[in-house]
Amino acid sequence: MLSVPVFWRMNKEKYKMIGKKCLDCGLVIFPNRKNCPSCDSQKLEEFGLSGKGKIYSDTIIRVAPDGFEAPYITALIKLEEGPMIVGEITGVDIEDVEKNPQGLVDKEVSITFRKIMLNENGLRVYGLKFLLE
């Protein structure tokens, strides 16, 4: 279980999609890094992402880690600006997703602010999830 300071340090990234843009090669980076993964440049500036993207692949989590409530849907999401991230999909019915062999692949999504988990001491961890457009 992650500690309170760890959650606090991640607040900025969890609440808003603020990443980095490489001033040398133009790559948009999310989540944040100190070096550009493409050209290794350290000349990076903050960059606000749109929070929109498309589902690349998804799966239903049925055995959840502590603090999470199964079942829920986790997906690989290709963001409009390029980065591929892991995110939770909310606002969809698991039984509908199960019926479709393609799952949610290629569905367009956008961010929404939700409760992510409850830690063992009752701390509510908030952050971004994704809703189908």
Partner 1 sequence: MDKTGIVGWGSYVPRFRIKIEEIARIWGRDALPILEGLGVDEKAIAGSDEDTITMSVEAGRTAILRAGINPVKISALFIGSESHPYAVNPSSTVVSEALGFSSAFGNTFKEKTIFMGDLEFACKAGSAGMQICHAFVKSNEIEYGMAIGADTAQGKPGDALEYTAGSGAAAFILGKDPVAELEGTYSFGTDTSDFWRNEGKKYPNHGARFTGEPAYFKHVTNATKGLMEKLSLGIDDFDKVVFHTPNAKFPLRAAKILGFDASKLKEGLVVPKIGNTYSGASLIGLASVLDSAKPGERILVTSYGSGSGSDSFSFMITNKILQAQKLGKKTIDYINNKKYVDYGTYVKLRGKLLRE
Contacts with partner 1 by CB under 8 A lie at 11-13, 15-16, 18, 32, 46, 48, 69, 90-91, 93, 112-116, 124, 126, 129
**45 exposure class (CB count in 10 Å sphere: 0-12, 13-18, 19+):** exposed
Half-sphere exposure of 13 (CA within 13 A, CB side): 15
Residue 94, SS3? helix
31 prior amide bond cis, ω within 30: yes
Looking at the Cβ atoms of 56 and 126, the one nearer to partner 1 is 126
Looking at the Cβ atoms of 1 and 70, the one nearer to partner 1 is 70
Shortest distance, CB of residue 76 to partner 1, whole angstroms? 20
Looking at the Cβ atoms of 15 and 24, the one nearer to partner 1 is 15
Shortest distance, CB of residue 17 to partner 1, whole angstroms? 9
Shortest distance, CB of residue 126 to partner 1, whole angstroms? 6
Looking at the Cβ atoms of 4 and 39, the one nearer to partner 1 is 4
**28 exposure class (CB count in 10 Å sphere: 0-12, 13-18, 19+):** middle
